[in-house]
Amino acid sequence: MADLFDQIDLGAIALPNRIVMAPLTRARSNRDGVPNALMAEYYAQRADAGLIISEATGITREGLGWPNAPGLWAKCQVQGWQQVTQAVQGALTETLQDKVEEMVMEKVAEAVQKKAEEVQQQNDHGSAEKKDVL
Ligand SMILES: Cc1cc2nc3c(=O)[nH]c(=O)nc-3n(C[C@H](O)[C@H](O)[C@H](O)COP(=O)(O)O)c2cc1C
């Protein structure tokens, strides 16, 4: 049976796991609705989720539901969101690098163990032969 950490296809999107972050109002943008470093950090901390649904984002100033909510109607807001998506991608890359390093170290440890066993066997075989000679 599939568990929470199994991959799943959600329509056209392939999710690495089934953890989906709900939209959560944080009001951490500024008065002009420009996403900032604080928001980038918040989303990057949650980069391991299979899917992140962002907080509600205004498409016009009139469309904003509450103060300090982010928007997406001005170029500076788009750039602010790019800072957020880049931070999430960066965090994912770090996680991936850690995983690759872990896998490589496991393989190295396996290879060393195998070699040590081979050497041990050869030594055992060698001492048995010596006994035969004596
Ligand atoms: C735009 C938007 C903003 C939301 N902000 C919050 C929030 O700040 N806090 C919260 O608890 N839920 C918030 N919600 C609701 C959660 O995303 C989630 O849908 C809700 O907790 C549903 O959980 P439930 O189905 O288990 O009741 C928001 C929903 C939307 C659509």
- The protein residue with its alpha carbon nearest to ligand 1, atom 21, reads 22
Every domain of the chain and the residues it spans: 8-102
Q: Is the pLDDT of residue 8 over 90?
A: yes
Question: What pLDDT is recorded for position 128?
Answer: 72
22 lines ligand 1 (CB under 6 A): yes
The pair of structure tokens assigned to 59 is 């498409």
The best mutation among 20, 24, 57 to test binding of ligand 1, ranked by most ligand atoms within 8 Å of the C-beta, falls on 24
How high is the mean pLDDT of the chain?
92
CA distances from 91 to 24, 45, 85, 88, 96 (A): 20, 8, 10, 5, 9
**pLDDT tens digits, one per residue of 84-98:** 999 999 999 888 788
pTM over 0.85: no
Question: What pLDDT is recorded for position 11?
Answer: 94
Question: What pLDDT is recorded for position 133?
Answer: 66
Q: Is the pLDDT of residue 78 over 80?
A: yes
Average pLDDT over residues 48-73: 95
Q: Calculate how far, in angstroms, residue 127's C-alpha sits from the geometric centre of ligand 1.
A: 71
